[in-house]
Amino acid sequence: MNIFRYDSPLMQFLSRAADLIWVNLLVLICSLPVFTIGASLSAMENIIYKILHNEDVSVTKEFFQAFGKNFKQATVIWLIILAVEGVLGYDFYYSRQIGTNVSEVMLTVAVILFVLVYAMMLYIFPLQSHYYNKTKDLFKNAAILVIVHPVRTIIMLAIQAIFMGIGFLIVLDYRFIPVLVCFCISLPWYFCACVHMPVFDKLDGVDKFGNKIGPETFKKESDSTEETEEPDPETSDEDESEEPDGEEEDKSES
């Protein structure tokens, strides 16, 4: 077997690594204004989803398409998370300065809430990039996933913590800074996607390769401006067979 064939495991690994490096650089560049971090993460999740399902992906083109499409909602989500985490971070700092029994309780609560909000963030941007939904429903669904899948949530938090620790060690030795620049965001989020993607695949009714294996659990939520029409009795059975079950629709085709 020729290891340099385009479909060989080695070449597929190198292609995936190159995609992760490039999307990481795009995220870093597009996150410079800070308030655009949410849109960057959402666009990255769109690319990672396709990489995990072995889809052909034009990283630059599809990244900016997803970035523009999800910009408004992803930015609102990010600013909300940033504000909440900022308040919790201040509570942590203030509690440490007081040094009383009450402050110890406040510090513990602040740390727990900070971790929970961060865990929600690990779900909410994949949800936002993958499904159509209102912002409040995205937060609700992310919170539900944190609670319903505690093992997956803990694993993803551990992945993030490990990579943060590695990043801190790399910063101490400037020789490895290029490695940090290439993989600091895309790689930990890629491994997190490996953890939560089976949940999404089950909801979508697809296998790990993206092939349909069952009905979709979610569908796109209809616009509030659309009028509700009574179904025609003669065609209702046919219409029901064509519509997927659920509440949301996969965004990845767009």
pLDDT on residue 203: 81
Nearest Cα neighbor of 70 from 16, 25, 124 is 124
Per residue in 135-158, pLDDT (tens digit) is 999 999 999 999 999 999 999 999
Q: How far is Cα 193 from Cα 190, in angstroms, rounded to an integer? A: 5
**Amino acid letter, residue 146:** V
Residues 219-233 as b/e (b if ≥16 CB within 10 A, e otherwise) read beeeeeeeeeeeeee
| Structural domain spans, the chain | 9-242
Positions in the chain short of pLDDT 70: 1-8, 99-102, 207-254
Q: How far is Cα 93 from Cα 114, in angstroms, rounded to an integer? A: 13
Query: HSE of 247 in the Cβ direction (CA atoms, 13 Å)?
Result: 6
pLDDT on residue 204: 80
Residues 20-38 as b/e (b if ≥16 CB within 10 A, e otherwise) read bbbbbebbeebbeeeebbb
pLDDT on residue 95: 77
Share of the chain residues as helix, strand and coil, in percent rounded to the nearest 5: 70, 0, 25
Spatial neighbors of 133 by CB under 8 A, at least 6 apart, are: 127, 141, 221, 248
Burial of 79: CB neighbours in 10 Å, binned 0-12, 13-18, 19+? middle
Query: Among positive and negative, which fits the CA dihedral 29, 43, 90, 114?
Result: negative
Instruction: Give the pTM.
Output: 0.77
